[in-house]
């Protein structure tokens, strides 16, 4: 048998093919470096800010108590709740295949999808020095879908546009109020009937100086979405209530798709003008 008679360079005869191969190798090496560093593999286009997850009462405590869940670099250097299970391990494959342990890579796409109900609400004592010291605490001491949601919400640096049917959950409201106090421009559109119900946090937002508009129509303003800095969209069935967190079957998808964000921003702006 004559064996293989091809030359090593036969497969890559043009300089363009060689350059393409080198680019693929470089991309894989970068992805491996990301995975080794324990980062999430999120593209820079929508890597959250250094304030990720710092909005009180959610800060260093969860990472200190659960170092294997997240870390100081889990979201581009921020403090918050770690990436989905397998995200770091899948970063190398994600760079080539377009997915990172459930997180889509590339210029936009799905960041993650959160599902409810959570078994428990988060323990606020976890943010105190030493964490929670109650021997039989009934609240969650580990990241949950709600804490992940709060981390995304708390990553806002310049603007937060909220369009949600009903808001009664104090964990969420506290993050919104904290962002407002930090100078983030917050605008809220909500349903007029729900805004008047017992437990609604809309009055609290108005008293704090947050801009709020209600639909003032016989029908319901039934959207449940939020836009963060024009770079992230939170959208799904999830109302911002305790019942939705711990009782209902709900979902929130976090997206960084520019076209979807523009579409939802246009709808928000349309309703904002309509409900003057």
Q: Return the percentage of the chain with pLDDT > 70, whole number.
A: 61
151, pLDDT greater than 90: yes
Domain count of the chain? 1
Indicate the pairing of strand 103-104 with strand 99-100.
antiparallel
For residue 116, the model assigns a pLDDT of: 98
Q: Is 44 contained in some domain?
A: no
CB 200 within 8 A of CB 174: no
Give the CATH number of the domain where residue 256 resides. Answer: 3.30.870.10
User: How confident is the model over 104-108, as a mean pLDDT?
Assistant: 46
122, pLDDT greater than 60: yes
Q: Is 31 contained in some domain?
A: no
User: How confident is the model over 239-252, as a mean pLDDT?
Assistant: 98
Between CA 240 and CA 167 the distance in angstroms is 5
User: How confident is the model over 116-139, as a mean pLDDT?
Assistant: 93
Q: Is 97 contained in some domain?
A: no
Q: Is 254 contained in some domain?
A: yes
Q: Return the percentage of the chain with pLDDT > 90, whole number.
A: 59
- Categorize the per-residue pLDDT at 24 as very low, low, confident or very high, splitting at 50, 70 and 90: low
Q: Is 176 contained in some domain?
A: yes
164, pLDDT greater than 80: yes
Q: Is 154 contained in some domain?
A: yes
For residue 117, the model assigns a pLDDT of: 98
Which residues are paired to 162 by β-bridges?
188, 226
Long-range pairs of 193-197 with CB within 8 A, sequence gap ≥ 24: 193/220, 194/165, 194/166, 194/220, 195/166, 197/166, 197/168
Range name among 57-66, 89-98, 116-125, 134-143 with the lowest pLDDT average: 89-98
35, pLDDT greater than 60: no
Which helix (H) or strand (E) segment holds residue 120: the answer is none
216, pLDDT greater than 50: yes
For residue 66, the model assigns a pLDDT of: 31
| Selected residue with higher pLDDT from 236 and 48 | 236
| Selected residue with higher pLDDT from 27 and 174 | 174
Between CA 35 and CA 48 the distance in angstroms is 17
CB 109 within 8 A of CB 256: yes
Q: Which residues are catalytic?
A: 222, 224, 229
Domain coverage including residue 254: 103-274
Structure tokens at 273: 């003008």
For residue 29, the model assigns a pLDDT of: 55
Q: Is 21 contained in some domain?
A: no
Average pLDDT over the chain, rounded to whole? 74
Q: Is 145 contained in some domain?
A: yes
Long-range pairs of 237-240 with CB within 8 A, sequence gap ≥ 24: 238/114, 238/116, 238/149, 239/164, 239/165, 239/166, 239/167, 240/164, 240/166, 240/167, 240/168, 240/169, 240/172, 240/173
For residue 127, the model assigns a pLDDT of: 81
Task: Give the global pTM.
Answer: 0.66
Between CA 139 and CA 137 the distance in angstroms is 6
């Amino acid at each position: 048998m004559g064996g293989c008679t091809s030359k090593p360079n036969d497969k890559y005869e043009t300089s363009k093919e060689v350059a393409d191969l080198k680019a693929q190798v470089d991309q894989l090496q970068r992805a491996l470096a990301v995975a080794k560093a324990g980062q999430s593999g999120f593209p820079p286009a929508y890597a959250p800010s250094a304030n990720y997850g710092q909005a009180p009462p959610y800060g260093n405590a969860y990472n200190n108590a659960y170092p294997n869940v997240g870390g100081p670099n889990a979201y581009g250097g921020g403090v918050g709740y770690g990436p989905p299970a397998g995200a770091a391990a899948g970063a190398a494959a994600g760079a080539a295949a377009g997915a990172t342990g459930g997180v889509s890579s590339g210029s936009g796409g799905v960041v993650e999808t959160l599902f409810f109900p959570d078994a428990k609400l988060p323990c606020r004592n976890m943010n105190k020095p030493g964490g929670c010291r109650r021997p039989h605490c009934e609240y969650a001491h580990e990241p949950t879908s709600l804490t992940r949601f709060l981390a995304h919400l708390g990553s806002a640096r310049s603007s937060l546009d909220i369009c949600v049917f009903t808001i009664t959950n104090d964990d969420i409201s506290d993050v919104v109020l904290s962002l407002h106090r930090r100078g983030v421009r917050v605008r809220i559109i909500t349903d007029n009937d729900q805004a008047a119900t017992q437990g609604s946090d809309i009055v609290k937002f108005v008293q704090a100086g947050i801009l709020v508009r209600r639909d003032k129509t016989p029908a319901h303003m039934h959207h449940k979405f939020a836009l963060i800095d024009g770079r992230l969209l939170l959208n799904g069935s999830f109302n911002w209530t305790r019942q939705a967190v711990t009782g209902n079957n709900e979902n929130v998808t976090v997206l960084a798709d520019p076209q979807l964000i523009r579409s939802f921003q246009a709808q928000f702006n349309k309703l904002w003008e309509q409900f003057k």
